[in-house]
Chains A and B, each alone.
Chain A
Amino acid sequence: MSSLSRRMTAALLAVLLAACATPQGTVVLLPEAGGRDTSVVVAQGGKEVVLDQPYAGAKLASTGPQKYSSNAAEVQTQFGAAMAALPGRPAQFTLYFVEGKDEFTDASKQNIDSVFAEIASRPVPDVLVIGHTDKVGSDTSNDVLSRQRAEVVRKALIVRGIAPENVVAVGRGKREPVVPTDAGVAEPRNRRVEILVR
């Protein structure tokens, strides 16, 4: 093979490779509040790269994913419209109850206003209300009580104008204490309703 045809072959190969490596997309890991350990594994054409640092990126191409460093400005340019459409993050609230009853503690009566405010701030809120008890009493009585507590909150939300089909009330009894205790122990922090607004 002459030097010229070798060069032409090399040029042709380069063109072909470039064609193969036509970008098919981009993946970028975003920084996360709270600094949890997170990662995305990008698999393509039998090759894999792991993105585990903020703004670690991968260019997708038929030759396999290529790692690169992205940044906030580039992400904004390429993905700004998509990111602007992200729904509000689910918000969680906890309200506490008087022992053995479905009445709020005085402190929690104040807090319920912030729950309403959060719901009102969302265009189509859906709300999950989960009632819990402490470990005083039987499973059955606590299942009933936890459900009653959740229903109290659900009704309060409906009275304030939330559509009934958008609020679900659930009782979990004494199964999920925040503070683990022995059976029969009265623990105010476990007598609660969790409210998830999304």
Chain B
Amino acid sequence: MNLVTQGCRRSLLAGLVAATSAWIGFTTVAAASEIGQIKVSKGQVTVDRKGEALSGSVGLRLETADVVKTGADGSVGITMGDNSLLSAGPNSILALEHFDFDPTTSQGRFDAQLQRGTLAVISGRIAKQSPQAMTVRTPSAALGVRGTEFVVSAHE
């Protein structure tokens, strides 16, 4: 079993849950795959997922299109499936727009957007394998990540 089959199992499970919910008359839940996990969480941290605001506590597994927000006293640290590390300071909005990663070949693509606030990044295996494959955007700029550690801020 590798990470992909594990992901498939999770998707199958999610699909099963979705199908069951639909059957008993609840809203259908889309099959989800996990891309990273919150490892550090201080103060107010929320995750917007499909119109729902989840508490961004330590251990929460993240999905593509999640938007991570911190309050005035908040900060959050995330480990992605390719070993990329991202952490945001107070009053930040970070959108995990796209993430796919094949652990066997290290091929994949990672796009994130810092809409507001401060962000520290240590890139992982995706950027190491192919230097064009990871991009961090702000509302006004695009950063091509060639395998590195950096910080970026975005003012409104």
Contact = CB atoms under 8 A, between A and B. Distances in A.
B146 A38 contact: yes
15 contacts: A26-B152, A38-B146, A38-B147, A39-B146, A40-B144, A40-B145, A40-B146, A82-B89, A83-B87, A84-B87, A85-B75, A85-B89, A86-B40, A124-B37, A128-B103
Interface of A: 23-32, 36, 38-45, 51, 60, 62, 65, 75, 78-90, 122-124, 126, 128, 168-170, 196, 198
Contact of B75 (A30, A40, A62, A82): A82
A25 B152 contact: yes
A149 B83 CA distance: 24
Contacts of B90: 81
B58 interface: yes
Interface string B127-149: 00000000000111111111111
Contacts of B118: 78-79, 81-82
B3 A40 contact: no
Interface string B76-94: 1111000101011110100
A26 B119 CA distance: 10
Nearest to B45: A85
A15 B16 CA distance: 61
Given A38-B147, A169-B1, 13 more contacts: A24-B140, A25-B153, A26-B151, A27-B150, A27-B151, A27-B153, A31-B149, A60-B140, A65-B141, A79-B118, A82-B117, A90-B79, A168-B1
Contact of A81 (B75, B142, B155): B75
Interface residues of B, number: 47
B141 A87 contact: no
Contacts of B151: 26-28, 30, 75, 78-79, 82-83
Contacts of A83: 87, 120, 151
Nearest to B151: A79
A25 B143 contact: no
B17 interface: no
Closest 3 CB pairs of A and B: A38-B148, A82-B89, A87-B39
